[in-house]
Structure 1
Amino acid sequence: MSALTEAVRAGRTAETLRLVKGMTATERRTSLPELKELRKELRAVPPWEDRSERVRPALHLAGAACHTGAAAAAAWLAASDLRWRQAPTESLLRVLEDRDTGWLADVAHRLAQRPVSAQVPYDLMAGLVSRSGCEVPVTDAYVTGWIRHIGIGDGSWPRDGVAHRLRREPNLAALLGGLFTLSDFAEVRWLLGEGQGSWQSALAALAQEGSLDREFLVDACVARLLRGGGPTDHRIFLPMLTELALTREEERARIPDWTALSRDAVSPVASHAQAVLTGLALEGSLTSRQLAEASEGLLFRSEKKLVRAQLVLLGKVLSRDPGTAAELLPVVAQAFGHEDTQVQERALKLVERHVQRLDSTEVRDELAYSAQQLIPALRARAAAALGVAAAGPEAVYEDVLPPAPEPVRLEPAPPTPEEVAEEVGALLASEGDVAAFERALDGLVRHAYQDPDALREALVPVIANRWWAGDEHRQWPRTDDMFSNARYGLFNAEDGLELLLATLHGKVRTATLLDAVRRGPNEHECAHSGLSRVLDARLREVAYRLRTEPMPLLLATPTWSTGLLEPAELVDRLAEYRRLDSRVCATDFAQALLRVRRDDRAAAEEAAGRARALGTPEGVRLARWLGGTNATLPEARRRTKGVRILLELAELPELQDGFPQEFHRLGRPLSVFSDRWHCHHWNHGARRHWLAVLPERRELVAARILHDLADTAVEDERGAAVLPLLAESGGAAGEAVHLCVAYGLGARHQEDRLAAVDALLVLAAQGQLDAARLGTDLGELVERGAVKPQRLAESARTAAATGANATIGELLRHALPVPLAALATARPEAAAVAARGLGDLLAVAAECAERSGAHGEVPHLAETAARGGSSRLVVQARRLRDALAEEVAA
């Protein structure tokens, strides 16, 4: 071992520096292999251990000195495994100072090209630049380091201020150019600050005293705002621009820039640009053509505040200069297509006020054509104002609903073991849907029956990294414990796949599998237990049969993606079991009965006849089952629990008689006071499989997950992603389904609200949405405080934007009376709380009524509209009252 390596291993940094300074280039190169070997050793040692903490700085220093190539030296200096404890920057600069300037410049630029995440010390890069005399590298890493250096310096906030430090920077112009082109400010945004003492105020001061080119700063700010960037980058450059306090002359010189920013920039920047353009327009510095160009983009923005401000400006210009009407009124008419009907009305009032100044028939025709975008209630006014014939009888408004999703037929089970392995691997890597899971499950069962050795060989790559796949003898107890029935069932369907794979490869004892089948999970009772236990029991019995008596196929594999099974297919499978003289798996057959389609009476009766002819107990049972229907639902009772409205279900004997013990909970009474504290069904992905347990009785599933959906609104939890699947499932959409959707519409998280909107639209497209029922439930939930009006308003607005104005209007017409009545009877001190968010709901309801032409009355709306003042609540109540009362002229 060389003296250098010994010093490095001992962590003696000062001695390492002394030794390498006295070595020749050849001696340094000779030492590299030992240093690289030491580096390899340290990679296996956690960086926070004493040995690593002590050795790494010396190793970092020695390696940098011993590399003679610039690329290799830069790679060593910036290595991620040496980043935890680096050598002091001053020592690194000293050990490299004898290299020629070209080499130092090369290393400096290579380090500067590293990503910001490499965390190359700025002092090191700047020291190399200074010693080499090279041009400063304007890269993200270098500029980010420079900003940190200016802002923090030696670790404390600089007393002499940012402006003073910037004055001392010799490469200020070049580095400022890098600041304006920096791609990501996440690391340094907090350093730039705002207000007095910030970079913005410092740069403005330097520009005022002449230390910086003011025109360069203005141009760079505007260019960066035009370019955009991160979602909050404007918080840096917009204050910088305002600090520079542009003169009117500077603003006039950049009219095209303000126009572009007002059209396309983020809202705060667009607002600033609009304010600049407004000032120029009012003082006469904008031509009508320039104003029209700016307005064309602004009037299409979604921010109502910007659109209304632009209409106000256009009105002032039109009043001051009537000659601009021919050029500006067609621009005003572009707002006729705005999503906000109040904006439409403002634009129409502006046209009504100035249309008499038009001499051009061509412009009037253009306005008349644009007026077709107005809501029905405003079109007649537009026709009268323009002096054109009113349109013919207004077509009856119809909602534009998305097509109801069609279930997808499952493909046959994978034909080869290799394809089964591929699908199983994909399911274990990410949660798949019911169709993918059932196909893979059926494929495992079929190929385990046909050629288990070939199946195990194909599954080798899939199980290579599974936790239970080790060969050690100790693995057996651990695997048995995880898959046993000691306390819990399988958490989800993917756990079931793990159990089947472990069984196929001999990692679970037969006695454990038999015990699990006999006893089942010893879980706490909760609302989900019935659904989860069916899935659990079926998978455990299938695993036991794989070990003891493989089955030729699964009976319960669905025909459709929703979980439904065609009766003819089930009869064919039972016939195959009879032909092969195979014993039916009890839980698999019971699940098949719950999945088999019974609503198609002709198909059910034909299949019943064939099943009876099989002469097997299962055939007779199936024939008897197909003779019934799914119309029977247990009696439901509404109960309240805190602010929640929940449902209790009475007993349903049909789901107990003749079914295995594990299925009986599906037919037992459901109480809202079941113990949920010990419920372990936290995996939301399992819910899609619960829906496939009872694909034609979604009310039974909805009642069992209703508390979870309530928590998305009341407790701000996640979990409404199942709603679209619930809506696509079969059976009656009753009280439980509608309450689930109601809670989803008031969920805390936007993704959950969007899922609820999807479910609502699917139910509407299927003709199964009861808008009166859902609206009444929502009104009660809003009044109780379970659903916040603002969240409901956002969901309703999203649904209406798809073209479902009549549906949402009808829903809100039934939702509003209860909270409006509560507002009318509330004490003054409680009225403000009761009114919170109701204005938003009224606004959406009014918009839907205006667009759909709906009429009618909303109880207690008149009292709210008759209140004094101009609050949003009162204004929108009057708007809704007028919209519902106004007859659209033919």
Structure 2
Amino acid sequence: MSELMEAVRAGRTADTLKLLTGLTDAERRLHLPELKELRKEMRAVPWWESRSERISPALHLAGAACQTGAAAAADWLAGADMRWRQAPTESVLRALEHRDAGWLADVAHRLARRPVSARVPYPLVSGLVARAGCEVPVTDAYLVGWVQHVGGRWDESKVLDALRVEPHLAALVAGLFTLSDLGEVRWLLEDGPHSWQSALLTLARDGVLDRAFLVDACVARLLRGGGPTDHRVFLPLLTGLALGREEERERVAEWTALARDAVSPVAGHAQAVLASLALDGELTSRQLAEASEGLLFRAEKKLVRAQLVLLGKVLAREPGTAAELLPVVAQAFGHEDAQVQERALKLVERHAARLGSLEELGWAVEQLSPVLRARAATLPGITVASPEVYEEVLPPAPEPVRLRPAPETAVELAEEIGAVLASADEGVAAYERVLDGLVRHAHRDPEALREALGPVVANRWWATSDDTHWPRMDDMFGNGRYGALGAGEGLDLLLATLQGKVSTATLLDAVRRGPNEHECPHAGLSRVFDARLREVAYRLRTDPLPLLLATPTWSTGLLEPADLVARLAEYRRLGARVGAADFAQALLRVRTDDRAAAEEAARHARELRTHEGARLAHLLSAGGPVRPPVRRRVHGPRVLLELGELPELVEGLPQEFHRLGGPVSVFTERWCGHWDHALRRHWLAVLPERRELVAVRLLHDVTATAVDDGRGAGVLPLLAESGGPAGEAVHLCVAYGLGARHAEDRLAAVDALLVLAGRGQLDAAALGADLGQLVRRGAVKPQRLADSARTAAATGAHATVWEILRHTLPVLCADLATGRPEASAVPARGFGDLLAAAADCAERCGAHGEVPHLAGIAARKGSSRLVTEARRLRAALASQALAA
């Protein structure tokens, strides 16, 4: 072994550098094969071992110095396997200093082109650039490294000093404005007493940086957009540059584009600049109209109202602009906020005489709310069509999809298994279909199945694992040491079993003991799903099942009784032993609500003269599912449900299923390992005709979307599509979802609401009353509920939404009107939004009647949104009552 290799293997970095400096290029190249072999050897050593920590820096240094080509040297220096155990930067630079400038520049630029995630040290690249005397590489990785190097110092006042001595300052500052992702350095660039922004402004004032360039670069970056908070870096910098009036006037087109399309703070700044120009008479009416066209369609009501105020001032000062500006004002008639519509209508009414004919505004008037539309009809030249009789429009409820038979060939099955494994959100239909196909082909021809699955399982973690880097398969899938299996883990268990990766003893122990999991509300559902998968895996090894009895007929998990009878008949013909968990799951899935089909299937089941046939016949003849005993409890801000015991649900089923019949309490342990939201759709398929039992177990999770700003309402549409009565638990889940923090969760709750309404299963009075109590207790914020109400109403379900809110508002109005202490839980601003949504629905669907205590709020003095919308709702209900 050479002296150099001895030093590298001993981890003596300093000696390695001394030995390298004395070698010629030819001698360095001779060491490359040994260094590459050592690198390959070190890849198998865990990173936490002392050997890796000792050898890696010396290996990193020697390999880089012995490479001949620039590309190979850059690859070695940036290698992911040595990223956290690199040689000191100064040592690397000294080892490479004998190279010519062109070679060093090539390496520097190759390293700079690496992604930011490669974590190439900035001092290394900048050191190579300095020694090469080349042009600085303005790449994302280099810029991020530069900003972190300059701005990551403990003394932030040094930022300005560091920038003053930067030899490539102009090029690097220009690069900051084109940096694709500020995520790594945003906190360094944002405003502060000694921030980059203040440093750049100082350098611009001192003439070190070109101020005009900074202005153009800021505007261009804001136009380009980027991350949702990138404006926090560039907008303060732009305002700090204090543009003069001439500079603002030169960029009218840019301000217009920013006002129309930029994020709200940037749009607000651009609007303020345009407003100042307009009030000083430095904008033409055409330019003001172009800017207003985009602004009046923005969702931010503050911006829209400010623009209407500006248009009103210009119209009052310059009457001749009415022909160009009033049609633009009329575009606000289509805004979702009724107050915006009314402001726009007032402007049109005030200046209508200057326009002459208002016929061209007829198209816009049709977008007004019914009350405002009737008011606009009094304007000269406006013809409004007679109002049509309101007709509720509900989206069609989704229909369940019948599962296709299992794939005929092993190759087709392997392709579908690969697709399910690649999916992050396995649907019940696709999952159950490949599960049944895997069992059938394993029984029919296991060797052909293993061969077909070869490419699919080649890269699965368990197929390439060893005891050094991964837990033993016996530990992962057996011995009860881990929690219940997820959908993807369950499929991996079956595939690993087929490939001989799990011992029979482990599979048997897993079936006997089950998973080690916390006692939580989900435990009963997850245990059933888990028990069936473990049973199937054990039978694959010992006595393969010919087919699965519990494979559902429909995508909701429902199993037609005739299908189950036919499968039991096939088991009897083959003389096969039925899997206890598979049969129990089939009994929970079998459809009983079609009594004629159930009785017919029960007769055929008895004719089988088997234990399973008799058990199925008894279930089908017993009638529908038992109604669960439910009790409502208040727990903090939450309204929750407790479930009583249902022993008849699991009578005669295996022990693993008994938790389904156990009680659910608000005091049950809530922490658990069931974090995979995709698994919930499979829980619904465990009890496809008893969704109330599933909803009670999911209720606390759904409450977190509103109370704790969590996630997890995505299951609600599937809950609405499931079978069985939609009772208290289902409606409470939807109520919390409508008040969820995240818009995606609220949208899922709206979908569930519309599905229930479309299926005729929505109890609007119960849902409305629940929402009133939840808002009153602070569990649901009225602003979020208002957003959900508007979203649902926008589909055409105005009457449905009004019927819900008609039962929500009295509770809240009573607190506000009477000044009860509970009124503090009802924010006036948010309640105003809710009243606005209710008023819009009432106007559009022709509702009439009276909301208790609404008159007391409407009679208050002032013109706050709460009072204004209360008056609007009262007027809408009164006018419709008179019309009726």
1:849 paired to 2:838 = no
1:608–1:622 CA contact under 8 A, matched in 2: yes
1:147 paired to 2:147 = yes
1:761 paired to 2:754 = yes
Q: Which amino acid aligns with 1:396?
A: V
- Give the deviation of 1:183 after TM superposition: 1.8
1:143–1:179 CA contact under 8 A, matched in 2: yes
Q: Deviations over 1:753-779 (max 9, x none)?
A: 332222112112222111111011111
**Aligned partners of 2:280 and 2:792: how far apart in 1?**
44
Find the partner of 1:280 among 273, 277, 296. Answer: 277
Other-structure match for 1:376: 370
Other-structure match for 2:557: 563
**Aligned partners of 2:131 and 2:150: how far apart in 1?**
20
**Aligned partners of 2:506 and 2:713: how far apart in 1?**
36
Other-structure match for 2:391: 398
Other-structure match for 1:444: 438
- Give the deviation of 1:734 after TM superposition: 1.9
1:228 paired to 2:225 = yes
1:368–1:386 CA contact under 8 A, matched in 2: no
2:482–2:517 CA contact under 8 A, matched in 1: yes
Other-structure match for 1:74: 74
**Aligned partners of 2:482 and 2:765: how far apart in 1?**
41
1:709 paired to 2:702 = yes
Between 774-783 and 58-67, report the one with greater CA deviation: 58-67
- Give the deviation of 1:305 after TM superposition: 1.1
Other-structure match for 2:379: 385
Secondary structure in structure 2 of the residue aligned to 1:689:
helix
**Aligned partners of 2:578 and 2:566: how far apart in 1?**
13
**Aligned partners of 2:846 and 2:614: how far apart in 1?**
57
1:776 paired to 2:769 = yes
For residues 319-398 of structure 1, the aligned pairs below 5 Å read 319-359=316-356, 361=357, 364-392=358-386, 394-398=387-391
Find the partner of 2:400 among 381, 400, 407. Answer: 407
Other-structure match for 1:699: 692
Q: Which amino acid aligns with 1:793?
A: A
1:639–1:672 CA contact under 8 A, matched in 2: no
Residues matched between the structures, number = 878
Aligned CA distance change for structure 1 residues 663 and 51 (closer, same or farther; 3 Å): closer
- What TM-score do the two structures reach when normalised by structure 2? 0.88
Other-structure match for 2:827: 835
Secondary structure in structure 1 of the residue aligned to 2:309:
helix
**Aligned partners of 1:238 and 1:59: how far apart in 2?**
47
1:102 paired to 2:102 = yes
Q: Deviations over 1:517-572 (max 9, x none)?
A: 78888988765555455545555555565566554333332111112222333333
Aligned CA distance change for structure 1 residues 869 and 160 (closer, same or farther; 3 Å): same
1:480–1:508 CA contact under 8 A, matched in 2: no
Q: Which amino acid aligns with 2:269?
A: H
- Give the deviation of 1:403 after TM superposition: 1.9
- Give the deviation of 1:679 after TM superposition: 6.5
**Aligned partners of 1:511 and 1:554: how far apart in 2?**
23
2:688–2:723 CA contact under 8 A, matched in 1: yes
Find the partner of 1:303 among 283, 295, 300. Answer: 300
2:641–2:666 CA contact under 8 A, matched in 1: no
**Aligned partners of 2:364 and 2:143: how far apart in 1?**
51
- Give the deviation of 1:64 after TM superposition: 3.9
- Give the deviation of 1:355 after TM superposition: 0.8
- Give the deviation of 1:181 after TM superposition: 1.8
Other-structure match for 1:552: 546
**Aligned partners of 1:274 and 1:693: how far apart in 2?**
56
**Aligned partners of 1:183 and 1:738: how far apart in 2?**
45
1:206 paired to 2:206 = no
1:729 paired to 2:726 = no
- Give the deviation of 1:280 after TM superposition: 0.5
- Give the deviation of 1:491 after TM superposition: 4.2
**Aligned partners of 1:692 and 1:461: how far apart in 2?**
30
Other-structure match for 2:235: 238
Q: Which amino acid aligns with 1:835?
A: P
Find the partner of 2:740 among 741, 744, 747. Answer: 747
Q: Which amino acid aligns with 1:147?
A: V
**Aligned partners of 1:634 and 1:210: how far apart in 2?**
78
2:777–2:825 CA contact under 8 A, matched in 1: no
Secondary structure in structure 2 of the residue aligned to 1:385:
coil
**Aligned partners of 1:587 and 1:40: how far apart in 2?**
48
- Give the deviation of 1:282 after TM superposition: 0.4
Aligned CA distance change for structure 1 residues 540 and 35 (closer, same or farther; 3 Å): closer
Aligned CA distance change for structure 1 residues 401 and 240 (closer, same or farther; 3 Å): same
Aligned CA distance change for structure 1 residues 98 and 370 (closer, same or farther; 3 Å): same
**Aligned partners of 1:53 and 1:788: how far apart in 2?**
53
**Aligned partners of 2:620 and 2:48: how far apart in 1?**
68
Other-structure match for 2:244: 247
Q: Which amino acid aligns with 1:157?
A: D
Gaps of 5+ in 2: none
1:600 paired to 2:597 = no
Q: Percent of counterpart pairs with the same letter?
A: 72
1:177 paired to 2:174 = yes
**Aligned partners of 1:839 and 1:801: how far apart in 2?**
19
Other-structure match for 2:789: 796
Question: CA RMSD, aligned part only?
Answer: 3.8
Secondary structure in structure 2 of the residue aligned to 1:33:
helix
Other-structure match for 1:884: 877
1:157 paired to 2:178 = no
1:571–1:619 CA contact under 8 A, matched in 2: yes
**Aligned partners of 2:465 and 2:752: how far apart in 1?**
45
Q: Which amino acid aligns with 2:180?
A: S
Q: Deviations over 1:425-472 (max 9, x none)?
A: 555565522222322332233334433454455556666757599999
**Aligned partners of 1:809 and 1:424: how far apart in 2?**
46
**Aligned partners of 1:481 and 1:196: how far apart in 2?**
53
Aligned CA distance change for structure 1 residues 48 and 839 (closer, same or farther; 3 Å): same
Aligned CA distance change for structure 1 residues 390 and 470 (closer, same or farther; 3 Å): closer
Aligned CA distance change for structure 1 residues 355 and 128 (closer, same or farther; 3 Å): same
- What TM-score do the two structures reach when normalised by structure 1? 0.88
Q: Which amino acid aligns with 1:111?
A: L
- Give the deviation of 1:218 after TM superposition: 1.5
Secondary structure in structure 2 of the residue aligned to 1:816:
helix
Q: Which amino acid aligns with 2:327?
A: P
**Aligned partners of 1:818 and 1:397: how far apart in 2?**
28
- Give the deviation of 1:487 after TM superposition: 9.0
Q: Which amino acid aligns with 1:204?
A: L
Other-structure match for 2:853: 860
1:787 paired to 2:780 = yes
- Give the deviation of 1:644 after TM superposition: 3.5
Between 83-92 and 729-738, report the one with greater CA deviation: 83-92
2:370–2:844 CA contact under 8 A, matched in 1: yes
1:688 paired to 2:681 = yes
- Give the deviation of 1:723 after TM superposition: 1.5
**Aligned partners of 2:211 and 2:505: how far apart in 1?**
84
Gaps of 5+ in 1: none
Q: Which amino acid aligns with 2:26?
A: T
2:782–2:827 CA contact under 8 A, matched in 1: no
**Aligned partners of 1:509 and 1:140: how far apart in 2?**
50
For residues 19-38 of structure 1, the aligned pairs below 5 Å read 19-38=19-38
1:647–1:736 CA contact under 8 A, matched in 2: yes
Q: Which amino acid aligns with 1:100?
A: D
Secondary structure in structure 2 of the residue aligned to 1:646:
strand
Between 17-26 and 535-544, report the one with greater CA deviation: 535-544
